A and B are shown apart, each in its own frame.
Chain A
Amino acid sequence: MKKFAKTLMSGVFAASLLAGCVSGNGGSSSGGEAEGGNQAEGGADNGELSIAVVPKLVGIPYFNASEKGANQAGEDLGVDVQYTGPTQADAAAQVKVVEDLISKNVDVIAIAPNDPASVDPVLKKAKDQGINVIDWDTPANKDLVEYSVKQIDDDVFGRHMAQKLVEAMGTEEGEIAILTGGLSAANLNLWIEAAQKEFDENYPGIKIVTEKIPTEEKQQVAYQKTLDLMKSYPNLKGILAVSTPAPLGAAQAVQEKGMQDKISVVGSALPTDSLPFLEDGSLDTAVLWDPGKLGALTVAVGKMIAEGEEITDGMEVEGVGQISVLEDGKSIIMGPPADFTKENAADFDF
């Protein structure tokens, strides 16, 4: 009797498994069809078009500002924007977020990957289910995304920061140091490479005293490293600080030691954070872009591809301005970098 019950139970179990399989298949194929329908009719079957925007992490000023822009664009364009991401810059947690979005069957996923390699499989899965995949802020694997929304041309940005630093130093000769957020951050490395190229090609008098110095994305660490740098290289004339907290830390050190006139600091920082340092000249220029606009552009691009609209070089995007598309036909560049200085920093709200 007992044996019979066991057999029966395992039979039922096996059957339910099989049934699960079958219905699973059915579900995904019908999902695929619905997706096809969506694309043709502009998401008419289930109301609004839904666009998921996944930042590297939520809860830091930069990504908060882009969230605002993305949500605003969602309202303006009449699409449903889901801005969701991990609470720490953690690749595994980000994969889970994308998994959830796939099961919610959104129309577009725009991702700023913490680690491009680790989101590869999940982006592939999304693509196979007919979800449009794009990246924003930080590039993902090129083969998997339809478009890459970039705030800036990395080369232009790096070179621009280098030029600003030379301008602030007022001389084309002298020792400088480079601070970075982390050694493995791909976009920071690209900017630094571009800046180094600019120094090599156009300012041979500039000497970079040591390899780029990591600051763990923390102001306090940047502050301490800058103090050490100033002691260690007494002739230091400039600091290029890449990643948003680094320029603040570097400027704080310069401010406290009263070295505003001797050492110039230029870096990528948000205007409201840098205001107290810009005011007394301890930070000379903060260079960045408007993260809100980046969020808005991401949503706009998401909407255009979901509706099958073509994106062309030089087209106007509402609320963002003129965009450019690079030769590869995939990379969309938002525009030139914005400089925040003593004069204009107070006008911004991010």
Chain B
Amino acid sequence: MKSIIKQKEFSIFMIVVLLCVVLSFVSPVFLTFENFLDIIEGNVVMAILAVGMTLVIITGDIDVSVAAATTAVAVIIGNLFSFLPDSWISILILFLIAPVIGIIIGAINGLLVSKIKIPAIVVTLGTLNIINGLVLYLTNGQYLNSSNFPKPFLTFANFEFLGIPILVYLLTAVAILTWFILKHTLIGRSVLAIGGKSQSAVRVGINYNKVKLFVFAYMGFLAGIAAIAQTAYTKAVDPNGLLGVEMMVIAAVVLGGTNIQGGRGSIQGTLLGVLLLAIMQNGMILAHIDTFWQKVVTGAIIVIAVSYDQISYRRQQAKLAKIEVEA
């Protein structure tokens, strides 16, 4: 048993705590239940995408098409809304259709990466542009507001259980599912093995293509879920609303201690990474920091957090020279 302090996520956790302490001194509203719910609910989409991205990055790949895929699914369900009946079945249909479309998009990425062996950054940059182009062509950038959404969907979007919005439960479910896959299933362990050393992993009999296909398809699945969350959160479909979000997602995953070259990473760490970015954005206004300084402060905290994480990881590695396959 390693002590808690030795865990990789501890460094990022400490930075989050430190930031919280500073912010609660600066602003009395920061440390309130309501504010924390706002922070979490506002970043559910980013967190869901970051959870999926963690698996992709652990295998040593990257998927820059996530925001575009989410937008594509959101646009499709937005247009579907006018055909759906005003009953609870609509929600069920939605939760069936959105993930399936996401999986299809993800599987296309996965097939190109695994079967044709094109580097993932090239494939996903390609799909990013294809999807963005198609979405723009089909929607003409038209913004859809909530006036033609079915009533049950709006009820679903505003639903709260024990004072906590439904989207937070959705994120919790996604995080636990992914954590379980990564920690306790064969495919999850294979993901870490391939990221650690792909050649050795293949030699011990892990199916490289299958694992790659799985991570990209799973990313697509989560993009589908994220599309529902995005539509429920904004109560609108904006074809340009997620432009550039993939960069924030990747930043959160890396901040959370996942190695960009693969082999190392965890869901807990990623969630903390998202939380760090989210708290920073929220704290800036609460701390009355001037607009122009906000960017400087954000950048500085990211650099400090990543350097600190890297340094402590190096120190640990120096102590134990073994290949790490721990999630």
Contacts and interface: CB of A to CB of B under 8 A. Distances in A.
Interface of A: 58-61, 63-64, 87-88, 183, 210-214, 216-220, 223-225, 227-229, 231-232, 245, 248, 252, 273, 275-276
Given A183-B292, A211-B291, A231-B35, A224 B145 contact: no
B147 A275 contact: yes
B282 A228 contact: yes
Contacts, number: 85
B119 interface: no
Nearest to A229: B285
A223 B147 CA distance: 18
B239 interface: yes
A250 to B, nearest CB: 13
Interface stretch (B14-22, B83-91, B135-143, B268-276): B135-143
A64 B132 contact: no
Contact of B241 (A210, A220, A275): A220
Given A231-B35, A273-B143, A210 B234 contact: no
B142 A214 contact: no
B319 interface: no
A211 B147 contact: no
Nearest to A88: B243
A245 B236 CA distance: 12
B240 A218 contact: yes
Given A219-B238, A220-B233, A61 B143 contact: yes
Contacts of A218: 238, 240-241, 243
A135 to B, nearest CB: 22
Interface residues of B, number: 36
Contact of B142 (A64, A87, A219, A248): A64
A2 to B, nearest CB: 40
A231 B29 contact: yes
Given A219-B236, A225-B285, A276-B146, 6 more contacts: A61-B142, A212-B291, A213-B291, A223-B234, A229-B285, A248-B236
B150 interface: no
Contacts of B286: 228, 231-232
A218 B242 CA distance: 8
A63 B136 CA distance: 13
A273 B237 CA distance: 11
A227 B291 contact: no
B152 interface: no
B27 interface: yes
A248 B147 CA distance: 14
A211 B292 contact: yes
Interface of B: 27, 29, 32, 34-35, 38, 42, 132-133, 136, 139-143, 145-147, 233-236, 238-241, 243-244, 281-282, 285-286, 288, 290-292
B266 to A, nearest CB: 27
Contacts of A214: 291
B288 to A, nearest CB: 6
8 contacts: A87-B133, A210-B285, A211-B292, A218-B240, A220-B233, A223-B234, A232-B27, A276-B146
Contacts of A248: 236
Nearest to B291: A211
Contact of A227 (B42, B142, B147, B234): B42
Contact of B240 (A60, A223, A276): A60
A275 B142 contact: no
A331 B182 CA distance: 62
Given A59-B136, A61-B143, A213-B291, A232 B238 contact: no
B23 to A, nearest CB: 11
A288 B29 CA distance: 35
Given A211-B292, A231-B29, A232-B27, A224 B140 contact: no
B49 to A, nearest CB: 14
A219 B240 CA distance: 10
Contact of B141 (A61, A211, A232, A252): A61
Contacts of B236: 219, 248
A188 B327 CA distance: 48
A245 B136 contact: no
Contacts of A232: 27, 29, 285-286, 288
B141 A59 contact: yes
A60 B42 CA distance: 24
Nearest to B32: A231
A224 B45 CA distance: 13
Given A225-B285, A228-B285, A183 B145 contact: no
Q: Which of B146, B241, B285 lies at the interface centre, i.e. has the most chain A CB atoms within 10 A of its CB? A: B285
A212 B294 CA distance: 12
A228 B281 CA distance: 9
Given A214-B291, A232-B29, A275-B145, A59 B239 contact: yes
A224 B136 CA distance: 25
B240 A210 contact: no
